[in-house]
Structure 1
Amino acid sequence: MIPEPLPLDEVDLADPGNFTDGITPWRVFHTLRHQDPVHWQPEPAPNAGFWAVTRHEDIARVDRDAETFTSTKFVNLEEVDDDQIKRRASILELDGVRHRALRGLLQRQFGASVIGRYTDFLRGLTATTLDAALAKGSFDFVSEVSADFPINVLARLLDVPDGDTKQLIEWGNRIIGNTDPDYADVLLGSQESEQYRHLPFRSPASLEVFAYGRELARRRRGGTGTDLVSKLVNETARP
């Protein structure tokens, strides 16, 4: 049964409360796709608002047309100035030659032949994760499945030591949960957060992630590893 569409004048993509009940999002996106597929969403000051593209054919066109649509102004909803853009730009915030070069390198690590090598690992991880959760009878799906599973896949791709996966989850919670006092080291919007404005989500936990990543890169540099860190460190350094 398709939920009743939400009236267009009630659509508010900037309100996190509209994404908590499992029904309202379906109503929102049904309305947008049928009535306003390229939708301008205003936001309260000091934010400037954003465009929301909700139909597949339009998303595909935007993705392929870097001459018209740019990623260089950042692709998330965070408001950033030119200084932050210069300091924090990643592959997600690049267009043109540099983006294609990095994307080409990454794509080679996700081809059919490479992904095929992970088949047994993914099946085993799925079984282990679900068996452990179901054995508890009653469990929190986020903490037992959805948080743990993708981090273990990422850890395998990066060849992160098994004992570090819980730390990766903790870092992720501290960084993403920048408005939640249960997770954030510094709450977004606080005066203290200004000193971290050049970090992702203004989270000081990002500094710990950067240090961890640099140490991984140092250990893999010059080696013959086939993990993603080794490939990025050694292949991007070649002339």
Structure 2
Amino acid sequence: MTASMRLAQPEFWNRQLAERMAEMAEIRERGPFAHTSYINPLTAETESFYAATRYDEVVEISKRPKDFCSGKGAVSVPDMPEEALNFFGSFINMDDPRHARQRGIVARSFTPRQLQGVLDSVETICAEVIDGFCQDGEADLVQVFSQPFPLLIICDMMGIPRSEFETVLTATNVILGGGDPEYMGDGDPLEALFTAGMALTALMGELAEERRANPTDDLTSKLVHNDVGEDMLDPSEIAPFFILLAVAGNDTTRTAISHGMNLLGLNPDQRRLWQNDLDGIGPTAVEEVVRVASPVTYMRRTATRDLSLSGQDFVEGDKVVLMYASANRDPRIFDHPETFDVRRDPNPHLGFGGPGPHFCLGAHLARREVSVAFRQLLTRLPDIEVCGDPVPLQTMGMPLVGGIKSLPVRFTPTEPVGS
């Protein structure tokens, strides 16, 4: 099996990050596009895609949505059934003008100014989560911190009651678990995905109905109420947006924090630099964590016409997969790209997507979460250290998010700040 063919194999993605990236570097140096075949798990048929492995090509494709669209099939590698897109896509699976309309509606309530209350609550929620395990001395960082912290922020932002947290957590683990049996169970994977999607849809439908009758100051209320004659999301559009937010907004931050802690363990000199100057180094350190971890593994585009790019000919309907992690280590752009450097500047990484209409709407919130997470962890648990290998998701194929499901850490126990 050629190196490029291994891109679609579970064995490739179930390895540690550094091992995957070493092989990815070999693939990237062979050319800007790697033609890859795979067996579609939904149809059992052999299909193919072009993996865009270099920075310039990922940027160029991202900037040309009319030539490389998001609305034909899915942003995952296999095409998804229409009913699945309704659950899991929201506007990342759309093209303009439909995409521009929905994103524009959400963006009105998703600016730093509109989300100031949420941004402020990040500190409080982070402290609350650390309080829950700081006396233990050892823990699985994913279970006690990386997993609940960003999801609690999203649930509070949307107005989801804490009593429903486990429902949201279980469903999002299924949707972005990459087929990991621990999350999917023994049944049919597609059925498990639909069950998870329906659980979140039902939860959000009930909340939206309640907020129409009794508005509060949460994001759900802002999305279902219209005081100034502006367009609103249709009732059928609310739940897919929440699923997008709960899945993408949660799992990417969770993965960045988990990989970031492991990177600090592998690079103690960089940890000392950051820990000795948390405020001064923090901004560049967060960007470097996102670059090296590249939580979002890829997004797919589809060629809308016959065209050529960087010597590669595409025909209408060809699938092109934007490999963000590979682009973020392209030596044509980044000096010593395999080096984790918390002072790296400039750092034009693509960890939040390429430039264009689909750039991550919540990038500012994600940056805030990662920054606060490490500042509080390194301040309150100053000797926290990784004490075992990270356990990656056991995926069925190429995962949208290259997650860590377990990361053992130890530290000197300390008292909760809320006690």
TM class by shorter chain equals: 0.7 to 0.9
1:75 aligns with: 75
Do structure 1's residue 37 and structure 2's residue 32 form an aligned pair? yes
What SS does the aligned partner of 2:69 have? coil
CA drift at 1:216: 0.9
Q: Distance in 2 between matches of 1:87 and 1:167?
A: 20
1:5 aligns with: none
The one of 204, 210, 215 equivalent to 1:219 is: 210
Q: Is the 8 A contact 1:186 1:203 kept in 2?
A: no
Q: Distance in 2 between matches of 1:133 and 1:54?
A: 40
2:165 aligns with: 165
2:411 aligns with: none
CA RMSD of aligned residues (A): 3.0
Gap change, CA 1:53 and 1:127, over 3 Å in 2? farther
Gap change, CA 1:118 and 1:139, over 3 Å in 2? same
Q: Distance in 2 between matches of 1:46 and 1:143?
A: 37
Do structure 1's residue 15 and structure 2's residue 12 form an aligned pair? no
Residue 119 of structure 2 aligns with an amino acid whose one-letter code is T
Q: Is the 8 A contact 1:129 1:149 kept in 2?
A: yes
Q: Distance in 2 between matches of 1:37 and 1:158?
A: 41
Q: Deviations over 1:82-102 (max 9, x none)?
A: x44775552111101110011
* Displacement over 6 Å in runs of 4+: none
Q: Is the 8 A contact 1:38 1:53 kept in 2?
A: yes
Q: Distance in 2 between matches of 1:184 and 1:85?
A: 16
Q: Distance in 2 between matches of 1:33 and 1:226?
A: 47
- RCO comparison, higher one (Cα < 8 Å, 6+): 2
Which structure has greater strand proportion?
2
What SS does the aligned partner of 1:112 have? coil
CA drift at 1:109: 2.4
Identical counterparts, % of pairs: 23
CA drift at 1:166: 2.2
Q: Distance in 2 between matches of 1:85 and 1:92?
A: 13
What SS does the aligned partner of 2:38 have? coil
TM-score by length of structure 2 reads 0.47
1:236 aligns with: 233
Residue 138 of structure 1 aligns with an amino acid whose one-letter code is E
Q: Deviations over 1:136-172 (max 9, x none)?
A: 2221122112211121121122111122212211222
What SS does the aligned partner of 1:75 have? coil
Q: Distance in 2 between matches of 1:152 and 1:203?
A: 23
CA drift at 1:180: 4.0
Gap change, CA 1:31 and 1:110, over 3 Å in 2? farther
CA drift at 1:177: 4.1
Gap change, CA 1:84 and 1:164, over 3 Å in 2? closer
2:54 aligns with: 55
Q: Is the 8 A contact 1:155 1:165 kept in 2?
A: yes
Q: Is the 8 A contact 1:178 1:186 kept in 2?
A: no
Q: Distance in 2 between matches of 1:178 and 1:25?
A: 16
Q: Distance in 1 between matches of 2:181 and 2:33?
A: 35
What SS does the aligned partner of 1:41 have? strand
TM-score by length of structure 1 reads 0.77
Gap change, CA 1:131 and 1:102, over 3 Å in 2? same
Q: Is the 8 A contact 2:36 2:50 kept in 1?
A: yes
Q: Is the 8 A contact 1:47 1:79 kept in 2?
A: no
Gap change, CA 1:180 and 1:9, over 3 Å in 2? closer
Q: How does 1:18-167 map to 2 (within 5 A)?
A: 18-19=12-13, 20-44=15-39, 45-72=44-71, 73-81=73-81, 83-84=82-83, 90-167=90-167
CA drift at 1:222: 5.3
CA drift at 1:236: 2.7
Which structure has greater helix proportion?
1
CA drift at 1:134: 4.0
